[in-house]
Amino acid sequence: MATPPLKGIVSYPVTPFSSATGEVDLPALHRLTDELVTAGSHAVAPLGSTGESAYLREGEWDAVCRTTLQAVAGRVPTLVGVSHWSTEETVRRARVAARGGATAIMVLPQMYWKLTTAELEQHFAAVAAAADLPVMLYNNPGTTGVDLRPETVVALARRIPGLTMVKESSGDVSRFRDILEMSDGELSVYNGNNPVALEAFRAGAVGWCTAAPCLVPRWCLELHAAALRGEEDRADAVLEELLPFLRFIVGHGLPRAVKAGLEIQGRGVGLPRAPLLPLPAEETEQLRELLERLASRPLPENTFAGTAGPAS
């Protein structure tokens, strides 16, 4: 059985932008990253879609990568999203992440042109070889239009050294068991679909990749802790409280929803970058109600140690 390089709650920070200039706000990013670690996140994953990586210029991407890794300072593992339209730029980003001390990197299939299996293999192999780090393959058919089914993922992993992890975001929980069985437990599987977090843990996922800890870290940590301890009733109760919030942030787009939530909590990080627009006023009030409800509800007993941090 493989030992995963990261597990538990893998937290995804948004990328702050200055309200005055629209440029990347590196001090705010450092602060948000530190809050995620202090709150008890088991790993931090910058530069995913939550971090608006597709809208960053090359120098901005490098600065966000560098600042996040410096803020984490080795306290927890780090997973850097290096995806780009081209293999050349994805390779460059992978090398930047490796030089900065990242624990692992995450790669999506390129979007727009639907790649053949041979083209996908060539892309992933080039990135894995460039960084010499553990690689997480990210399957998110809802956004990429490419569905990497379990048999494809396992076949790729057998041919590409370093490809040891899969982030599965299709929402099909049966895939967690399928990947584990087909790979004889050599692939570590992570959930990237917020509403099925508990089902995923019960199906063998070793981690939950989520932006939710930016706003409600203690609830996310408690869900994981209860699942880890086999406390099914407590886990069910935590999920029941958390699920409306999880569905909201996914349904309204993570960058705009999380940034609106941080503003509500007095921890503003600026607006999303165009073409994204801020969360509309009516939806912002709905989010405020969800956050206030979670803040007013007592956490279940025996809250997982190490979760002190921003109000949640």
List the catalytic residues: 138, 167
Please state, as a whole number, how many other Cβ atoms lie within 10 Å of the Cβ of residue 1: 8
269-273 long-range CB contacts below 8 Å, 24 or more apart?
269/14, 269/16, 269/17, 269/25, 269/28, 269/29, 269/32, 270/16, 270/17, 270/18, 270/19, 270/22, 270/25, 270/28, 271/17, 271/19, 272/17, 272/52, 273/17, 273/22, 273/52, 273/55
Cα 269 to Cα 260: distance, rounded to the nearest angstrom: 9
Cα 12 to Cα 33: distance, rounded to the nearest angstrom: 9
Neighbouring residues of 158: CB distance < 8 A, sequence distance ≥ 6 = none
First to last CA, the chain: 35
Strand 8-11, strand 207-210: pairing: parallel
SS3 category, 216? coil
CB 173 within 8 A of CB 204: no
* Cα atoms found within 13 Å of the Cα of residue 228, Cβ hemisphere only: 15
* Cα atoms found within 13 Å of the Cα of residue 95, Cβ hemisphere only: 9
Distance of CA 112 to the CA centre of its chain: 22
CB 279 within 8 A of CB 252: yes
Q: Could you tell me which of 224, 215, 222 has the C-alpha nearest to residue 190?
A: 224
Cα 259 to Cα 247: distance, rounded to the nearest angstrom: 16
